Amino acid sequence: MTKPIRVRYAPSPTGFLHIGNARTALFNYLFARHHGGAFIIRIEDTDRKRHIEDGERSQLENLRWLGIDWDESPETHEQYRQSERLDIYQTYVDQLIATGKAYKSYVTEEELAAERERQEAAGEPPRYINEYLGMTDAEKAAYIAEREAAGIVPTVRLAVNEAGIYKWDDMVKGEIVFEGGNIGGDWVIQKRDGYPTYNFAVVIDDHLMGISHVIRGDDHIANTPKQLMVYEALDWEAPAFGHMTLIINADTGKKLSKRDPNTMSIEDYRKKGYLPEAIFNFITLLGWTPGGEEEIFSQEEIIQLFDENRLSKSPASFDSKKLDWMSNEYIKKADLSCIFDLAKPYLEAAGRLTDKAEKLVELYKPQMTSVDEIVPLTDLFFSDFPELSAAEEEVMVAETVPTVLTALKEKLEAMTDEDFQPDTIFPLIKEVQKETGIKGKNLFMPIRIAVSGEMHGPELPNTIYLLGREKSIQHLANMLEKLA
């Protein structure tokens, strides 16, 4: 009998949703939706020291923004936060102690630290050495009594089968094998404060929630044998495991990390006005490909195409230039009204939400990688004159430049405001060409630089039109003065 497909994303609310987390959530989501299974969100909040206020809300909000939805979560289901499940973990801790598969450990932190130091000095790998080793039952009872009398609170450790072999057929990496003797000895399943450790709680939860496949980052590979030990101790069937390869930052060649200043959280992208569909599409291709050249896919297409057998075995490359390219593709394709709505808050904050605003957004939409760029892109419409770069200066020192600018300025001055229309500006430039005999780059480039302060940009007649007749004249005059 095959188990129903149930997968989960289990964030620890110790930080905001970053690219790596988002990918884990997204691949679990795609796997569930592709196979018609359930996608579950569980909050792993047992590390109280690293807990971040608002971490959970922000994770869920940003997942929703990305277009991910889920079937079960703490919002709709009780005890979907680990901190609310302590009684459940206690039941299984007690059961393992009763069956001799776990035991209370009274060794103190100081003793553990001293032992670690000794092992390090001796060049031995760090491991816990069973404190009861070689004790008779009577000695053991005396040791426990003495420590309890001294007020030492025990942890609970799993009695590891040192001879056991722990292996699984990883969905991404193929067969992975660990020896029970190599994982550092009997490990703690319950801390002194009564909280379970991650490797213990995760097994209880995954089992009780009927999780069929655990898909997560490969930083968890070394945890998996420990988790398999718990499945074995409780005589439960383990789920399938798939460990996705790490993500490398293409700019630095280093592992993408939340602390890397070059990478942003999902919330940062959202604040900058990236489209969620673009981020969704981009993250999907971090370690997965449907094959072929095409890279732009809708969410429905990705769900349909998703195939866990095509998860990459080699590291995924996070290339911010590719993200910007993709983002620009999505902005170009999006409706003007959608981009204009997104642009409004940025324009408003800059005091630029004028009656020309929608036209400006239309003018610059083909150029934007994120919608917040609308503000710097429209600088020339709202400031007196932008500084020129060295390359721009070089164009402007040509002998023919003042002739071209003067001719255009005179024509604009001779024009009425009614005549000044989007389709009357190009003929005007053509007249300048006829009159002066200057054409091509020598004609268009100086005009573009004079009016817009940029060598590249949207269509020239449109730029002039949006800038307005007076302001264009002003810019041409400013430039002529500068050149004189």
- DSSP three-state, residue 177: strand
* 178-187 exposure pattern, b = at least 16 Cβ within 10 A, e = fewer: bebeebebbb
20 scored as a contact of ligand GLU (CB under 6 A): no
Q: Which is nearer to ligand GLU, 11 or 287 (CB)?
A: 11
CA–CA gap between residue 373 and residue 369 (Å, rounded): 7
- DSSP three-state, residue 215: strand
Q: Which is nearer to ligand GLU, 227 or 284 (CB)?
A: 227
Least CB distance to ligand GLU at residue 249 (A)? 19
Beta bridge partners of 72: 40
Least CB distance to ligand GLU at residue 108 (A)? 28
213 scored as a contact of ligand GLU (CB under 6 A): no
CA–CA gap between residue 243 and residue 240 (Å, rounded): 10
448 scored as a contact of ligand GLU (CB under 6 A): no
11 scored as a contact of ligand GLU (CB under 6 A): yes
Q: Which is nearer to ligand GLU, 61 or 301 (CB)?
A: 61
Determine if residue 344 is labeled as part of a ligand binding site: no
Q: Which is nearer to ligand GLU, 23 or 352 (CB)?
A: 23
Least CB distance to ligand GLU at residue 150 (A)? 35
70: left (phi over 0), alpha (psi -120 to 50) or beta: beta
**8 A C-beta contact, residue 476 and residue 450:** yes
Total chain residues near ligand GLU (CB under 6 A): 7
**8 A C-beta contact, residue 155 and residue 103:** no
Q: Which stretch binds ligand GLU (CB under 6 A): 8-16, 127-135, 275-283, 452-460?
A: 8-16
Provide Rg for the chain, Cα atoms: 32
Q: What token pair was written down for 344?
A: 């409004």
Q: Which is nearer to ligand GLU, 226 or 270 (CB)?
A: 226
58 scored as a contact of ligand GLU (CB under 6 A): no
Active-site residue flag, 258:
yes
Q: Which is nearer to ligand GLU, 12 or 155 (CB)?
A: 12
CA–CA gap between residue 404 and residue 344 (Å, rounded): 37
Give 3-state DSSP helix, strand, coil % of the chain, rounded to 5.
Answer: 50, 10, 35
Least CB distance to ligand GLU at residue 12 (A)? 4
Distance of CA 300 to the CA centre of its chain: 20
Euclidean distance between the first and the last CA atom of the chain, given in angstroms as a whole number? 86
Footprint of ligand GLU on 31-50 (CB under 6 A): 44
Q: Which stretch binds ligand GLU (CB under 6 A): 4-12, 103-111, 264-272, 348-356?
A: 4-12
Pairing type for strands 6-9 and 38-41 reads: parallel
Near ligand GLU by CB under 6 A: residue from 77, 104, 167, 220: 220
Q: What token pair was written down for 29?
A: 């989501």
82 scored as a contact of ligand GLU (CB under 6 A): no
Q: Which stretch binds ligand GLU (CB under 6 A): 10-18, 161-169, 178-186, 435-443?
A: 10-18
Least CB distance to ligand GLU at residue 11 (A)? 5
Q: Which is nearer to ligand GLU, 127 or 220 (CB)?
A: 220
**Strand residue runs (E) in 319-372:** none
Q: What token pair was written down for 79?
A: 């005890």
DSSP 41-71: E-B----GGG--TTHHHHHHHHHHHHT---S
Candidates 173, 258, 411, 471; catalytic one: 258
- DSSP three-state, residue 1: coil
225 scored as a contact of ligand GLU (CB under 6 A): no
Least CB distance to ligand GLU at residue 81 (A)? 12
CA–CA gap between residue 250 and residue 319 (Å, rounded): 5
216 scored as a contact of ligand GLU (CB under 6 A): yes
Encoded one letter per residue, x for contact with ligand GLU by CB under 6 A and - for no contact, window 187-206 reads ---------------x----
Pairing type for strands 188-190 and 155-158 reads: antiparallel
258 scored as a contact of ligand GLU (CB under 6 A): no
| Binding stretches for ligand GLU (CB under 6 A) | 10-12, 44, 202, 216, 220
Q: What is the set of active-site residues?
A: 258
**Feature table: binding site:** 258
